[in-house]
Amino acid sequence: MRKILFSLSLLLGVLSSFAQTDKEDWMIGGSFMLNTTRNTTFSFTPSGGYFFFNNFVGGGIFNLTYDKRGDNKNTVYGFGPFARYYFLKNNIKPFIATEYTFTYTKLELPGSSSTENGGDFFVGPGLAAFVNRNVAIETMVGYINSKLRHKPSDGGVMVRIGFQVYLSPRGIIDTYRSR
């Protein structure tokens, strides 16, 4: 019985040590995509946020996407806010996320080019799987709606896989104090 209680206590202690979504913590990370099938697509999406409350983070996201199909080139720059709420205090944390990205799109066709401004709105659930105390691999699946000026909006399902690094100022201070 003692071994079971000790094992449960150890397990709870280990799981709670993964809790890096406390008020005043930070997170940085993002996702990267490269596709070279029939066309070449490169996408880089870094993000950074601050935990205003336990399990609630708000921050900014940047997006750079380059797509080349034959002689057609499409480059998209985007930036905007995001918010997330995490639900559990263990090493697997589901969350709900929303983000809005203001976009600038440049389309280059043979002999001509054009630019468009617009925006992307995303909402959906995600899952952060912590591989250690501060790093999580994340997956998000949700609805994205893209709207370019003077064109109808276009929506669908988006899947994003990336990583985040969770930083705790208190943890850093405690580490230096113990030396």
- The predicted model scores a pTM of 0.77
Predicted pLDDT at 154: 86
Question: Phi and psi at residue 169, in whole multiples of 5°?
Answer: -60, -35
pLDDT digits (tens, 9 = 90+) for 112-129: 999 999 999 999 999 999
Give the lowest-confidence range in 7-11, 86-90, 167-171, 175-179. 7-11
Give the Cα-Cα-Cα angle 54, 58, 61 (nearest 5 degrees). Answer: 145
Given a cut of 60, whether residue 64 has pLDDT beyond it is: yes
Predicted pLDDT at 57: 96
Predicted pLDDT at 176: 53
pLDDT digits (tens, 9 = 90+) for 139-176: 999 999 988 887 888 889 988 899 999 998 766 555 55
Question: Domain holding 30: CATH number?
Answer: 2.40.160.20
Q: Quick check: 27 and 166 in contact, CB under 8 A?
A: yes
* Average pLDDT of the chain to the nearest whole number: 84
Residue 15 to residues 20, 41, 82, 144, Cα–Cα distance (Å) = 11, 38, 27, 33
- Residue 57, classed as helix, strand or coil, is strand
* Total number of domains constituting the chain: 1
- Give the domain extent around 12: 2-177
What is the pairing mode between strands 112-130 and 56-69? unpaired
Using alpha carbons, select from 10, 107, 26, 25 the residue that is nearest to residue 60. Answer: 26
Residue type (1 letter), 8: L
Q: pLDDT band for position 177 (50/70/90)?
A: low
